[in-house]
Amino acid sequence: MEPATATIDRVVVDAILSGRLGPGARLGEQDLARLFSVSRTVAREALIRLEARGIVQVSPRRGWFVIKPSFKEAQEAFQARRAIEAGILATVDAVGPEIVGALRDHVARERAAIAAGDAEARSFLLGDFHVCLAEAFGNRILADILRDLTARTVLISALYQSGHDATASCDEHAAITDLLAAGDLARAADLMVAHIGHVEAGLTRAKDDDPLLNLRRALRLPDEGA
């Protein structure tokens, strides 16, 4: 049976990837202990693991919360993803039909979620494509790292309102898969870097970056950094 701490880790990260847990959401030790039928110590251990992975943070006397990345941290997360995902493709010699099939199935599920207007499934699947890619190549370590980084970028998109359209992301996933199927790994890596850059380019600064935003706009003063 899966250890309780690992179960809590996985469920929390999956909830973030699906958009059900947003930036700043509180995660009470006692609440998690009751929900997962474990001791408070076990719940705390899971939260400590998630903190070490950069998913949650603890505030003295207030408890545990899902992180709210700063704009600079958002840029660093996208830089890390570009380096890792392009690196994965750069180390692969060939892509077998089973990998292409798995990725095409994943893209089909993305399109179905988008067509159905299922926001939770759409958010999860669009992010999970990148994890699926690493898993398809058999690299569990990088898949785990990418899952956490992707969870962070989902939180970032919620905070900074990425303007990159879901359909455009899905189309880019399909194009990357087609290049892999054709054996053009160099172009697939280039498109992956461009794809991640497109999502990052759509970010806008959140209200948290400018606590005076509402008053600033009421007074018709220029936004911070404008």
Same domain membership, residue 83 and residue 47: no
Q: Is 17 helix (H, G, I), strand (E, B) or coil?
A: helix
Residue 210 lies in a domain: no
Exposed (0-12), middle (13-18) or buried (19+): which is 75, by Cβ within 10 Å? Answer: middle
Q: What is the mean pLDDT of residues 62-77?
A: 91
pTM of the model: 0.81
Same domain membership, residue 170 and residue 60: no
Band of pLDDT at residue 220, cut at 50, 70 and 90? low
Same domain membership, residue 152 and residue 45: no
Q: Is it the case that residue 179 has pLDDT exceeding 80?
A: yes
Band of pLDDT at residue 207, cut at 50, 70 and 90? very low
Q: What is the mean pLDDT of residues 125-140?
A: 91
Q: Is it the case that residue 210 has pLDDT exceeding 80?
A: no
Give the alpha-carbon dihedral of 39, 65, 110, 133, to 10 degrees: -80
* Token pair of 176 as six digits: 């990357």
Residue 223 lies in a domain: no
Q: Is it the case that residue 213 has pLDDT exceeding 60?
A: no
Looking at residue 203, its pLDDT comes to 80
Same domain membership, residue 137 and residue 171: yes
Domain count, the chain: 2
Q: What is the mean pLDDT of residues 119-142?
A: 91
Looking at residue 1, its pLDDT comes to 47
Instruction: Report which of 126, 100, 76, 123 is spatially closest to residue 188, judged by C-alpha positions.
Output: 100
- Give how far Cα 134 sits from Cα of 5, 36, 49, 146, 207, Å: 24, 29, 22, 8, 34
Q: Looking at residue 133, which CATH number applies to its domain?
A: 1.20.120.530
User: Could you tell me which residues come within 8 angstroms of residue 54 by beta carbon, excluding any fewer than 6 positions away?
Assistant: 67, 148, 152
Distance CA 62, CA 29 (A): 11
Same domain membership, residue 84 and residue 144: yes
* Token pair of 68 as six digits: 């709210």
Residue-number span of the structural domain to which 39 is assigned: 4-66
Q: Looking at residue 31, which CATH number applies to its domain?
A: 1.10.10.10
Looking at residue 159, its pLDDT comes to 84
Band of pLDDT at residue 6, cut at 50, 70 and 90? confident
Listed residues 14, 49, 66: the one ending a domain = 66
The 10s digit of each residue's pLDDT in 7-22 is 899 999 999 999 999 9
Mean pLDDT score across all residues of the chain = 88
Looking at residue 200, its pLDDT comes to 87
Band of pLDDT at residue 147, cut at 50, 70 and 90? very high
